[in-house]
Structure 1
Amino acid sequence: MAPMIRAASLRGFAPLVVDLGGDPEEFLRRFGIPPGVLESDDGLIPITEHDRMLDAVAAELRCPDLGLRLAASQDLTILGPLALAIEASSTVAEAVECASRYLFVHSPALSVGVDVDPRGARGVVALTYRKDLHESPYSPQATELGLGLFHHAAERMLGGLTGLRSVEIPHEPLSPVDRYTQFFGADVRFGAPVGALRVERAVLDAQFDGADEVIRALALDHLARHYPEPTTRMAVQVRRALVQGLGVVSPSLEHVARLHSIHPRTLQRRLAAESTTFEQVLDDVRRDAARRYLTTTALPLTQVAALVGFGEQSTLSHAVRRWFGMNPRELRAQSSQR
């Protein structure tokens, strides 16, 4: 199954598109997102289609700062039950650790964390925001939305984000640079290796006024009981191994079993206990990869076939017709019309 993101990520999307002179329902339909899914924050949307739609809206409605505008209209509550645990944390370090552990509840393709400073400054760390590009293509607008919300939430929880050295954005500016500096209130650097807020290390120890250990414990207990960490599921581990090795090594049951130091039959039994099979997981990974390559790149079909682990282009064509009801060229043409 393709990685999803909670519909809460599009909170404020419809009124913003209307203000820009667009039709939000037309954009949703064009990218295969049922308009009704936005009625509940807990609705799920394929993250690739979510991100591609944001990029398309920004381009077509001539709104290069779309992601930043959306971020300004949102707050931490878009993270649902995770927001409560973060808000009740005692320090920035504790809040980031909590978000790092449970951000998969919002989307398994996204992650946050604390890294060493990419620019090597003493006493500075990077609060990073990443998307797994093995699972879904890079999106400039979605990246700006994520970084903008990350900054917005930290600023509100701390009553101002002092100690912010710079904001690191992986792509080149989409808007005039002063739009970014105005939004973040700090230096913004582009073409960075990873999206991040570079802050003084002391920021990690900053205390939150709303800290409440009892509420935090209850929130974490709720998350642990209702949202088991995906790394504990065998199907997720197999999917991750297949995604990382697709087009590089043979996607065989035996190879994946060796990676996990278990017997192939044991792997099969664990997958069966999760109501799936190795073949089903592999088929899902190939389908998602094929769709990504066909709809977001102009790679030759022979190369796409190799990248998804097929020896022949004809095998890719048969699989794409089974998955999507059309041949690869038709799928690519349909995507280019969006």
Structure 2
Amino acid sequence: MSSSIPLIRAAAVIPGEQWLTQNQLPAAELLMAAGLPASPSAAPARLVSVHGMMLFLENMAAAHGPDFGARIATPEALLCVGTPARAIRQSRTVGEALHRIASTFHQHASQLFLHIHEGPGGMQVKEGFSVIGSATMHHQAQQHFAATMRCIGYLANGRPLDAELAIIPHPEFGIDHLKPYLGDKIVAQEGRQLCMWLPNEALALSFPWEPDIAQRHESELLTSAASHSLLDSARILIAGMIADGNPSLEQLALCSGRSRRTLQRLLAAEGTSFTRLLDSVRQDHVLRHLTESHDSVSSIGSEVGFRNISSVTRAVRRWTNVSPRQLRRDQQHV
């Protein structure tokens, strides 16, 4: 298993955020307890932890029922889920939408795969991911994905897609609790791969809109969500933690699904530490904004957690051997 931390667009968490808000529950508190941003909808393209999303689903299922992942999947929520929603809006039929979702899935998440294969009579869809987590976490993630995919049918003809499903069962409740959301054509299977079979009749369903060409161009501008190393993914998450005001080794360990000690050992094997990564992320932000913007030194520093101008100045001198003012002056003469 890769040591990198699987990432997903924050838009994927919006259905959970919406459900919490609608039910007057403390959304920010519950999301942050799982290592997620307090408001995913405020920055839907931001990359967050896949493990954090799965932990959130598991926590909510423990409190609100084992069908939580399927229950929060609605047609309205689906249209908020970033890259998949754009793929649907760009398509004429359900089959075309599934092809587009699969081809752009790398923009949505890393270490998650979505494979489709068309055969006689229909299409097989397989979804899975390399994420550390319990059987309950994987069960929640699979039921949420399956229910979300079935919601595509509502957008076409007002009914959920007809699909046969093979899903990892809940360790205690099995799969019967999912039939109201996923239908009767559902079986339990071992392994951490969700399998769906969609008949040609479902794939041929048309959407009541013309493909959104503007969104097609927008999707082409998105970079891949894939992270190729532990350090890449750690830096992305640390930048988000800084924005949230809570960067810590414990928070990064939570996002990675590993213990604090294990994460420290993995970082040490890469020749670094959390403290060094945090300093590096702050350095990149401060130096880039000092040379590319006219923002004040204090405001730039405050964006990454420096409490006053003196601490920013000391950091810039440590990184460059010159003051922020001198750095800007030198850049103007380049």
Change (3 A) 1:78 1:85: same
Change (3 A) 1:65 1:198: same
**Amino acid of the structure 1 residue aligned with 2:93:** T
Matched, 1:9 2:12: yes
Q: Is the 8 A contact 1:77 1:83 kept in 2?
A: yes
Structural mapping, 1:170-319, within 5 Å: 170-172=168-170, 175=173, 177-193=175-191, 194-204=193-203, 206-210=204-208, 212=210, 215-224=211-220, 226-229=221-224, 239=228, 281=232, 296=257
1:139-172: CA deviation from partner (whole Å, max 9, x where unpaired): 32222212211111234324435653x2121244
Residue 48 (structure 1) aligns with: 51
Change (3 A) 1:51 1:144: same
TM-score, with normalisation over the residues of structure 2? 0.60
Residue 149 (structure 1) aligns with: 148
**1:175, distance to aligned residue in structure 2 (A):** 4.2
1:48-67: CA deviation from partner (whole Å, max 9, x where unpaired): 212212212322x1421111
Q: 2:91 aligns with which of 83, 89, 102?
A: 89
TM-score, with normalisation over the residues of structure 1? 0.59
Q: 2:28 aligns with which of 1, 25, 29?
A: 25
Change (3 A) 1:292 1:229: same
1:6-35: CA deviation from partner (whole Å, max 9, x where unpaired): 333233434644787964333233233342
Q: Is the 8 A contact 1:55 1:141 kept in 2?
A: yes
Change (3 A) 1:38 1:197: same
Residue 327 (structure 2) aligns with: none
Aligned residues: 260
Cα distance in 2, alignment partners of residues 199 and 318 from structure 1? 48
Residue 290 (structure 2) aligns with: none
Change (3 A) 1:159 1:128: farther
Structural mapping, 1:100-139, within 5 Å: 100-115=102-117, 123-133=121-131, 139=138
Q: Is the 8 A contact 2:94 2:152 kept in 1?
A: no
Q: Is the 8 A contact 2:35 2:52 kept in 1?
A: yes
**1:78, distance to aligned residue in structure 2 (A):** 1.9
**Amino acid of the structure 2 residue aligned with 1:227:** L
Cα distance in 1, alignment partners of residues 223 and 274 from structure 2? 35
Unmatched tracts of structure 2, length 5 or more: 239-248, 279-334
**1:208, distance to aligned residue in structure 2 (A):** 0.8
**Amino acid of the structure 2 residue aligned with 1:221:** H
**Amino acid of the structure 2 residue aligned with 1:93:** G
Q: Is the 8 A contact 1:3 1:135 kept in 2?
A: no
The DSSP-based 3-state class of the residue aligned with 2:131 is coil
Cα distance in 2, alignment partners of residues 104 and 14 from structure 1? 23
Change (3 A) 1:79 1:19: closer
Cα RMSD over matched residues?
A: 4.4
The DSSP-based 3-state class of the residue aligned with 2:105 is helix
**1:132, distance to aligned residue in structure 2 (A):** 3.8
The DSSP-based 3-state class of the residue aligned with 1:11 is helix
Residue 265 (structure 1) aligns with: none
Unmatched tracts of structure 1, length 5 or more: 244-279, 326-338
The DSSP-based 3-state class of the residue aligned with 2:80 is helix
Cα distance in 2, alignment partners of residues 114 and 188 from structure 1? 19
**Amino acid of the structure 1 residue aligned with 2:159:** G
Cα distance in 2, alignment partners of residues 9 and 103 from structure 1? 12
Q: Is the 8 A contact 1:167 1:197 kept in 2?
A: yes
